[in-house]
Structure 1
Amino acid sequence: MPLFFRRLISVLLSLLIASAVIFAVVDLVPGDPASFMLGTGARPDTVAALREQMGLDLPWPVRYARWMGGVLSGDLGTSLAYKTPVAGMIRDRLQVSLPLALLALTLAVAVAFPAGMLAARRRGGAADAAVMGGTQLGIALPNFWFAMLLVLVFAVRLRWLPAGGFPGWAHPGAAIKSLILPAVALALPQAAILARVLRSALIETLGQDYIRSARAKGLTRGQALRRHALRNALIPVLTIMGMQFSFLLAGAIIIENVFYLPGLGRLIFQAITQRDLIVVQSSVLVMVAAVIVVTFVVDLIYGLVDPRLRSR
């Protein structure tokens, strides 16, 4: 069987196992959604009737099969709190979270690649020390604190950018402006991690024999780094980038709350507080699916970067 199809089957099996685990974990959460919706003073027969209406009285395998049948047909169920289709809610939130993740990752790459290459090229020098010190600071600073600092400087004092909220894509310019500060806050720690990984990978690659041969043929250290070392050092960098994108897509709950962004992370947080289990299940499944698919795509990109990996 071709390698691509083996990996595709692995992705599908991973999604199936993940869906079962998500459903089981959410189902084991203490508390009854029907009792939560009706309040503590509800009569037992009223609670029982609502549980039957919601399908909560059915056996676990039956409820899981029904949920997965809906997922496969594009129906993620109906929110218990908002009485609206969950698929539409997730789609609306992804219109915020996906551009935010892409913008944050783009900013992180734009900062990390020059910084990591400079540190590797000037290893042991002042530039290397400055980059490593800056990346250590970027990793250590809490991103929510950095986000509030950005709001104070660029929104409150300078009034260049909005402090929060999202106007929608009907006004593209205003929408992009509203994502700049949260994207910068998210990009800082990711750029720091990516720069350190790139520096380490480049330093290891620069010690290889083919790099020494290239230097012996007259290439400067910078030329050898850009023409030969960078591509061969991309494998660990791509791995980190794939993980970062998955995190940025759905793991920015704190930043989305700081900037009042109606993203996927904030939707999950609200659904948990409201015991809206169907929203939690479906949203987490979308998150996990994004992680698995991005990992699959990164795995395919490995073969483009390094042809030796295509047969593995």
Structure 2
Amino acid sequence: MTGRARFRNAAAFRTSPRAGTCMKRYVAYRVAVTMPVLLGVLVVGFLLMQVVPSDPAAVRAGPQASAEVVAALREEMGLNRALPMRFALYLRQLARGDLGRSLINDAPVATELGRAIGPSMELMTACLLWSVPVAVALGTFAAYRRNSVFDRAIVMLSIGAASVPVFFVGLLAIWIGGFWWQLLPFTGRGGPFWTRAGLASLVLPAFTLGFVLLGAVVRITRTAVLDALSSDHVRTARAKGLSEWSVTLRHALRNALIPIVTLVGLQIGYLIGGAVATEIIFSWPGMGRLAVNAITSSDLPMAQGAILVIAAAFVLTNLAVDLLQLLLDPRIRR
């Protein structure tokens, strides 16, 4: 079959009712696959919270409470029931949208998580907005000038960015931007990102978190673009007389976006729940810091809620990446 015939068949498939049916089945399959994952996260998170040495009733009662008060609280909280019954009650509670109440401040867990999600999303979005475009540009330029001095410098930068611990980058950013130049605040969140104080307080944490992401995206971009430059359609584009820069941008980079999007999607899950060091260094009131404080203070309902939200965000992000690949890769639609 000639290339023109294959193109006509692919175009006919994209406009046929069968293409829409296949896409719907693929989307339904990916959504169905995420359900057992979320259930497994619920089970593992619940069991982990049951094996910790601390007693939730004793934590809620306080260190000065008597044994009778602790026993009454255990009965009230259902801790004397069998483990399967407690898990069933936990699932029923989640079905009503109730994540429980914090053992430390007696506030609803959902309310506390809602306050922490906003700052975490701000930090993650700001990190992605600067690091991903810069990383894709550096990786593409390194592939375009492969084996040159610029290529080696960019590769060394990516290796260093991926190797340096995030707390070291954060401390270095605080020392330079906060103490030496005294340009930016480095403690707490100054407000929403649309305010001047909020935007200023977001710069150093976003730079710290994005610098770690930079290395992985640069390397995968360079590798993917180099692989695409050796493909048949790129050689055809060169044979038509297109410039090397045009071939790299319009043909190689476009096909290299699939592994880049996959990697960024995986990294987003890390940024949501794994930015613990960044949030602690800069006193950023996000999900990672909230989860660590809940675990260290034996606030089991808060820890369970944070684990559930972080895991759900990670699973849903990967689902969105899978669906985005439908738009980038016509082979999946076929």
TM-score range, shorter chain: over 0.9
Q: Is the partner of 1:233 in helix, strand or coil? A: helix
Task: Indicate yes or no: 2:116 matched with 1:101.
Answer: no
Unaligned 5+ runs, structure 2: 1-23
Q: Is the partner of 2:146 in helix, strand or coil? A: coil
TM superposition shift of 1:37: 4.1
CA shift digits 1:118-156 (9 cap, x unpaired):
111111111110100111111121111111111111112
Equivalent in 182, 196, 199 of residue 173 of structure 1:
196
Q: Are the aligned partners of 2:275 and 2:288 in contact in 1 as well (CA < 8 Å)? A: yes
Task: Indicate yes or no: 2:214 matched with 1:191.
Answer: yes
Distance 1:104 1:68 in 2: 35
Task: Indicate yes or no: 2:252 matched with 1:218.
Answer: no
RMSD of the alignment, in Å? 1.6
Q: Are the aligned partners of 2:59 and 2:104 in contact in 1 as well (CA < 8 Å)? A: no
TM superposition shift of 1:99: 0.8
- Once structures 1 and 2 are overlaid, which stretch shifts more, 279-288 or 167-176? 167-176
Equivalent in 185, 197, 202 of residue 162 of structure 1:
185
Q: Are the aligned partners of 2:103 and 2:299 in contact in 1 as well (CA < 8 Å)? A: yes
Equivalent in 26, 33, 40 of residue 3 of structure 1:
26
- Once structures 1 and 2 are overlaid, which stretch shifts more, 170-179 or 112-121? 170-179
Letter in 2 for 1:16: L
Letter in 2 for 1:230: L
Letter in 2 for 1:239: T
TM superposition shift of 1:288: 0.5
Q: Which is greater in Rg?
A: 2
Q: Are the aligned partners of 1:105 and 1:244 in contact in 2 as well (CA < 8 Å)? A: no
TM-score, length-scaled by structure 1:
0.95
CA shift digits 1:2-44 (9 cap, x unpaired):
2211111112222122211211122122222223444566443
Equivalent position of 1:263 in the other structure: 286
Letter in 1 for 2:138: A
Task: Indicate yes or no: 2:92 matched with 1:69.
Answer: yes
Equivalent position of 1:35 in the other structure: 58
Distance 1:72 1:53 in 2: 20
Q: Are the aligned partners of 2:193 and 2:199 in contact in 1 as well (CA < 8 Å)? A: no
TM superposition shift of 1:114: 0.9
Letter in 2 for 1:102: T
Distance 2:152 2:260 in 1: 21
Task: Indicate yes or no: 2:331 matched with 1:308.
Answer: yes
Distance 2:194 2:231 in 1: 51
Q: Are the aligned partners of 1:36 and 1:275 in contact in 2 as well (CA < 8 Å)? A: yes
Equivalent in 190, 200, 207 of residue 223 of structure 2:
200
Q: Are the aligned partners of 2:59 and 2:103 in contact in 1 as well (CA < 8 Å)? A: no
Q: Is the partner of 2:278 in helix, strand or coil? A: helix
Distance 2:176 2:323 in 1: 42
Task: Indicate yes or no: 2:129 matched with 1:87.
Answer: no
> Among the aligned pairs, what percent are the same residue?
36
Distance 1:170 1:193 in 2: 27
Distance 1:222 1:171 in 2: 37
Q: Is the partner of 1:82 in helix, strand or coil? A: coil
Letter in 1 for 2:311: V
Q: Are the aligned partners of 1:78 and 1:85 in contact in 2 as well (CA < 8 Å)? A: yes
Distance 1:285 1:8 in 2: 18
CA shift digits 1:211-246 (9 cap, x unpaired):
111111111221111111112111111111011111
Distance 1:307 1:25 in 2: 42
CA shift digits 1:231-283 (9 cap, x unpaired):
21111111110111111112111111111111111111110111011111111
Distance 1:38 1:153 in 2: 45
Matches within 5 A, 1:75-154: 75-154=98-177
CA shift digits 1:80-104 (9 cap, x unpaired):
1110000010010011101101111
Equivalent position of 1:26 in the other structure: 49
Unaligned 5+ runs, structure 1: none
Q: Are the aligned partners of 1:211 and 1:228 in contact in 2 as well (CA < 8 Å)? A: yes
Distance 2:135 2:127 in 1: 12
Matches within 5 A, 1:244-283: 244-283=267-306
Q: Is the partner of 1:166 in helix, strand or coil? A: coil
Q: Are the aligned partners of 1:120 and 1:128 in contact in 2 as well (CA < 8 Å)? A: yes
Letter in 2 for 1:18: V
TM-score, length-scaled by structure 2:
0.89
